[in-house]
Amino acid sequence: MDTFVLLGSFFALMIVGVPVAYALGLAALAGALWMELPLDAVMIQIASGVNKFSLLAIPFFVLAGAIMAEGGMSRRLVAFAGVLVGFIRGGLSLVNILASTFFGAISGSSVADTASIGSVLIPEMERKGYPRDFATAVTVSGSVQAILIPPSHNAVIYSLAAGGGVSIGALFMAGVFPGLLLGLTLAILCLFIAKKRNFPKGEVIPLRQALRICADALWGLATLFIILGGILSGVFTATESASIAVVWAFFVTMFIYRDYKWSELPKLVHRTVKTVSIVMILIGFAASFGYIMTLMQIPLKVTGFFAALSDNRYVILLMINVLLLVLGTLMDMAPLILILTPILLPLVTKLGVDPVHFGMIMMVNLGIGLLTPPVGAVLFVGSAVAKLKIETVVQALYPFFGAMLLVLAMVTYIPAISLWLPNLMFK
């Protein structure tokens, strides 16, 4: 009955349209009242949930990504990717994916990636003879790399949801190969489609112009090397790297590129504060929800349920993947990480799955959920940028879903894809 009160009130609130963050907080209050707990305990959990040094990485990385997205970074990264792969048949689709790789490694946000890269490349791809729905499908699927490749905001949230025992630096390193694997798989798919549908070839950019484009883009790409180089060398932590990224992004945007007006900065900071406040409210309420779940022994009950179905690790991971894919279509990524990590992590660690590896499994699963209706945030943004109906974009995404499911299977059942680099760097 305890579980029914907590989860039932949460889903009932969701059904009537209460935002996820508030639904979590109100459900936690309902569970506390049912268990006759003092409400002070819930308030303490909300406060302690956001009173963590590692959470500073989120506002700093969001601000750094916003500065770079609006300061001309995406346009320069697109041009740089065009130098590398734009001359191949279907080259603009490869440019799209490669630009998402670069920008995702700087912004850490799939939504920002889709909005920035899509606004540049979707019209350009259509002008060059690509169908608009295909261009949109490439853009939104390629942007999923941003939640895998460091610095991923969601990796920070997962570390928090795991109780802080999983290193953010290890999660950052674990996402490198899964992110690159996703980009490579999508690129191969695009090459196949380009050949089948006879998409146009791009032009080879003259050497002098190519060198100018590369030099212009290197200022932005240096952000990635500063962040990862500093973490791996031990000069600063993953959290401290976020503040350094803000300083570097501000310097490059305002003093090197100089495409952004000083008068626009207050508006940009205001938008960032709004975004971060929503995330922090969600984290605080999710902490209280997780506290009540623990008192009700819900994680233990879920572990017992899965153990009763099978004792085979691979079968249970398959069932968890199906569960995450289904839930990813119904809820946004951050709340699902905060809700499900305390429930599923004890189960998979008992089966011998490394917490860092499981973090990557969750990221890929829920990243696919970002592209699926009815709650696919990236799908909505891509459709809005392209001015297409959501069902039109979803139809174009079918082959891309197949490619992403293949990557999910490889990340799930080949732990070395996620663990080789962090084991090399941190052990």
Say if residues 283 and 50 touch (Cβ distance below 8 Å).
yes
Residue 215 CB contacts under 8 Å (≥ 6 apart), including other chains: none
Tell me the two tokens of residue 159.
């570390």
The conformation of residue 89, written as its DSSP 8-state character, comes to B
Question: Cis link prior to 178 (omega < 30° from 0)?
Answer: no
Tell me the two tokens of residue 416.
């070395």
Q: Provide the pLDDT confidence category of residue 186 given band limits of 50, 70 and 90.
A: very high
* Neighbouring C-beta atoms of residue 1, cutoff 10 Å: 8
Half-sphere exposure of 355 (CA within 13 A, CB side): 19
What pLDDT score does 357 carry?
95
115-131 pLDDT, tens per residue? 878 888 888 888 888 89
What pLDDT score does 236 carry?
77
Mean residue pLDDT of the chain comes to 84
Mean pLDDT, residues 253-264: 82
Least confident of 178-187, 206-215, 349-358: 206-215
Say if residues 28 and 293 touch (Cβ distance below 8 Å).
no
**Cα distances (angstroms) measured from residue 235 to each of 39, 232, 239, 248:** 43, 8, 12, 16
What pLDDT score does 229 carry?
74
What is the percent of the chain with per-residue pLDDT over 70, rounded to a whole number? 99
What is the percent of the chain with per-residue pLDDT over 90, rounded to a whole number? 19
334-358 pLDDT, tens per residue? 888 888 898 899 889 988 899 999 9
Say if residues 417 and 354 touch (Cβ distance below 8 Å).
no
Q: Which is nearest to 396 in space by CA: 363, 376, 371?
A: 371
What DSSP assignment string belongs to 178-208?
HHHHHHHHHHHHHHHHHHHHTPPB-PPPPHH
49/51 Cα distance (integer angstroms):
6
266-306 pLDDT, tens per residue? 888 888 888 788 888 888 888 888 888 878 877 777 777 77
Kindly report the pTM of this predicted structure.
Answer: 0.85
* Neighbouring C-beta atoms of residue 382, cutoff 10 Å: 31
Q: Which of 18-27, 34-43, 289-298, 357-366 has the highest mean pLDDT?
A: 357-366
How large is the greatest C-alpha to C-alpha distance in the chain, in angstroms?
A: 73
Say if residues 325 and 286 touch (Cβ distance below 8 Å).
no
